[in-house]
Chain A
Amino acid sequence: MAMTETEIQTGLGEIIDEVAGVPADEVTPDKSFVDDLDIDSLSMVEIAVAAQDKFGVEIPDDELKNLKTVQDVIDYVRRAEVSA
């Protein structure tokens, strides 16, 4: 069954807390990874790898540059779930 936006956001918050030490409650949809959460390109790779384990959705390196905000990742995971 597909996850809700809230479930993905919660899961993403846990991942970002673990990878980058950003408290999960700061991970809200409008936040920019680079500007608001101080997450760099290597941490984005770690987030993508962890997201694959947690959500079963592969995020290739080429896609990472398009994922600028938390909402972008939520949308990507939901789209990938639908097409899967």
Chain B
Amino acid sequence: MRPAPLGSTVRSEQATPPRKGESPMRLTEGSRGSRILAFGGYQPANVLTNEELAATVDTSDEWIRSRVGIASRRLAGPDETVEDMAVAAGGKALAASGLSAADIDLVIVATCTPEVMIPNTAASVATRLGIVAPGAYDLNAACAGFCYALGTASDAVRAGSARNVLVIGAEKLSQWVDWTDRSTCIIFADGAGAAVVGPVTEADDAPGIGPVVWGSDGGMADKISIADRRSFIHQEGQAIFRWATTALHPVALTACERAGVDPASLAAFVPHQANLRIVEAIARKLRAPQALVADDIVHAGNTSSASIPLALSRMIERGQISSGDAVLLLGFGAGISYAAQVIKVP
């Protein structure tokens, strides 16, 4: 194309470079809604019972059951890492979803107990699962981590940042517990749970993940903490119990309201498995009589970000909840942080 002669008023779009600041951007095409395609859970093989704990610290099966509702918990082996457990749970969820590794664009690992801070867990997990070059990051919102990760995964699918997302909660809390401290060593455990998040189908575009309701309060940061690299988990049990049993049911009910789901129609309530008494106290305040209340803590212990997907995996395996059921999730813990959303069972 010949250049336009000097002084000509004829302008060519191709010949004229865009002026600084005038280049418009396009946005990706997202999905009208997101849904969970499948769950997967992994628990380590080693079982630690209350009786075994009572042989090493001053406690008893009766005391532990009445205070926290745990009968036994699972602990990772000495060479079993958070990454190993994340791969096991993530692989199960991916297989159950019917997708292939190439369909996953983003991997989020919610964990507050990574083996090391650098590198992150998610990229290594993705590589081991054969997921090539996805976006990958770890997310630390402690025991609220899975609900935070599910919320951001859902947003990524809806915004078009990812077609499908693998969300994993994985923890090895046993390495951050003082095994001579009877107030904490009876509670915490190891495990991983995962979900595959993708777009709603064209045939049925009803969303399968409701809006996340989340928050935090750094003013209560010292209520659950690990003081430094050589310290162990410390928590102020009464303060946490008071907060959890008074501040969280409004969060859960708001999640129902935002999703347009009547609590009375919930098939299940799956809160973070912190302590069975907290779980039951919150459940009583929801006025959701039909909802099966998850009690996975009895045999899993408190596995932080893994507890919700682990409980969901088991409930689906046992046929306690069915495809299409509305289930309320509520994560809460250190930070302090909390998040809730309603999901439909895949």
Surface stretch bound by A, among B18-26, B167-175, B237-245, B258-266: B237-245
Establish whether residues A61 and B66, one from each chain, have CB atoms under 8 Å apart when the complex forms: no
Is A67 positioned at the interface, with any CB of B under 8 Å from its CB? no
CA distance A41 to B242 in the complex (A): 11
B139 CB to nearest chain A CB (Å): 30
CA distance A45 to B246 in the complex (A): 10
Q: Which residues in B have their C-beta under 8 angstroms from that of A15?
A: none
Q: Which residues in B have their C-beta under 8 angstroms from that of A41?
A: 237-238
Q: Which residues in A have their C-beta under 8 angstroms from that of B238?
A: 41-42, 44-45, 61, 64
Q: Which residues in A have their C-beta under 8 angstroms from that of B242?
A: 45, 48-49, 61
Across the interface, name the chain B residue whose C-beta is closest to A52: B246
Establish whether residues B239 and A46, one from each chain, have CB atoms under 8 Å apart when the complex forms: no
Is A81 positioned at the interface, with any CB of B under 8 Å from its CB? no
Is B249 positioned at the interface, with any CB of A under 8 Å from its CB? no
Establish whether residues B67 and A61, one from each chain, have CB atoms under 8 Å apart when the complex forms: no
CA distance A61 to B242 in the complex (A): 9
CA distance A41 to B183 in the complex (A): 12
CA distance A42 to B64 in the complex (A): 13
Is B32 positioned at the interface, with any CB of A under 8 Å from its CB? no
Is A40 positioned at the interface, with any CB of B under 8 Å from its CB? yes
Establish whether residues B66 and A49, one from each chain, have CB atoms under 8 Å apart when the complex forms: no
Most B Cβ at <10 Å: residue of A44, A45, A48? A45
Q: Which residues in A have their C-beta under 8 angstroms from that of B237?
A: 41-42
Establish whether residues A42 and B246, one from each chain, have CB atoms under 8 Å apart when the complex forms: no
Q: Which residues in A have their C-beta under 8 angstroms from that of B239?
A: 61
Question: Can you list 16 A-B pairs, Cβ within 8 angstroms, ordered by A?
Answer: A40-B67, A41-B237, A42-B67, A42-B237, A42-B238, A42-B241, A42-B277, A44-B238, A45-B238, A45-B245, A46-B245, A48-B242, A49-B245, A49-B246, A61-B239, A64-B238
In the A-B complex, the 4 residue pairs with the smallest Cβ-Cβ separation, listed nearest first, are: A61-B238, A45-B242, A45-B241, A45-B238
